[in-house]
Amino acid sequence: AASGAVGWSGRFEYLPVALLVLLCWRWSRSRGEALGVGLAYYGAASFGLVHGASLFFGSATGSSSAGVMVWVGVSALLAIPWALLWSPSFRTRASSRVIHGILLGLVLLLPPVGLLSGVNPWVGGAAAMPGLGVLGLLLVTVSLLAPDKKTWPAWASALALVSALACGNYEPAPSMNWAGVSTRYGALGDRSPAEQYDMAADAWRRASMSDADVVLFPEGVGGTWTPSTASLWALEAQESERGPVWVVGAMQGDARGQRNGVGVVGKGEPYFWSQRLPAPIGMWAPWHARHVKSDLLRPSVEVIQGRRAALLLCFEQFVGWPALQSALEGAEVVLAPANLWFARGTNLNAVREVTLQSWGALMGWTVVEAING
| Identity of the amino acid at 123 | V
Count the neighbouring beta carbons within 10 Å of the beta carbon of residue 195. 13
3-state secondary structure of 198: helix
Strand duo 271-274 + 257-265: pairing: antiparallel
* Residues in CB range of 153: below 8 A, 6 or more apart: none
Confidence of residue 146 (pLDDT cuts 50, 70, 90): very high
Query: In sequence order, which residues have a C-beta less than 8 Å from that of residue 291 and are 6 or more positions away?
Result: 257, 258, 283, 284, 285
Question: What is the model's pLDDT at position 149?
Answer: 85
- Model confidence over 160-196: pLDDT tens digits? 898 888 888 877 777 789 999 999 888 887 778 888 8
- H helices of 146-226, in order, are 152-169, 193-208
- Beta strand segments in 234-276, E: 245-254, 257-265, 271-274
Alpha carbons 314 and 219: distance in angstroms, whole number: 7
The pLDDT tens digits for 42-66 are: 999 999 888 888 888 777 666 788 8
| pLDDT averaged over every residue in the chain | 89
- Looking at residue 255, what is its pLDDT? 61
AA letter at 156: A
Per-residue model confidence (pLDDT) at position 29: 95
Least confident of 170-179, 328-337, 349-358: 170-179
pLDDT tens per residue, range 93-125:
999 999 999 999 999 999 999 888 989 998 877
What band does 132 get if pLDDT is binned at 50, 70 and 90? confident
pTM: 0.88
Give the pLDDT score at 241. Answer: 66
Range list of H helices, the chain: 2-7, 20-26, 31-45, 48-56, 65-84, 94-109, 121-128, 133-145, 152-169, 193-208, 227-238, 320-328, 348-363
CA-to-CA separations, 48 to 10, 75, 92, 176, 211, in angstroms, rounded: 12, 12, 38, 33, 36
Q: What is the pLDDT of residue 268?
A: 82
Sequence letter at residue 272: F
- For residue 175, the tally of other CB atoms under 10 A from its CB is 8
Q: What is the largest CA-CA distance in the chain?
A: 70
The predicted model gives 79-95 an average pLDDT of 95
21 DSSP assignment: H
The model's pLDDT over 272-298, given as tens digits with 9 standing for 90+, comes to: 999 999 998 888 888 887 789 998 888
Rounded CA gap, 79 and 348, in Å? 19
Q: Residue 222, class by beta-carbon neighbours within 10 Å (0-12 exposed, 13-18 middle, 19+ buried)?
A: buried
For residues 358 and 12, what is the distance between their CA atoms, to the nearest angstrom? Answer: 8
CB 131 within 8 A of CB 166: yes
Taking alpha carbons only, the member of 133, 129, 360 closest to residue 143 is 129
Q: Write b or e for each residue in 15-46: b if 16 or more Cβ atoms lie within 10 A of its Cβ, otherwise e.
A: bbbbbbbbebbbebeeeebbbbbbbbbbbbbb
**CA distance readout (Å), 212 to 60, 168, 205, 343:** 38, 31, 14, 28
pLDDT single digits (tens) 229-274: 899 888 888 877 677 899 999 999 866 778 999 999 988 899 999 9
Lowest-pLDDT choice from 8-17, 32-41, 235-244, 287-296 = 235-244
Position 78 scores a pLDDT of 96
pLDDT at 133: 77
Residue 105: partners with Cβ closer than 8 Å, 6 or more residues away: 122, 137, 141
Task: Give me the pLDDT at residue 57, please.
Answer: 77
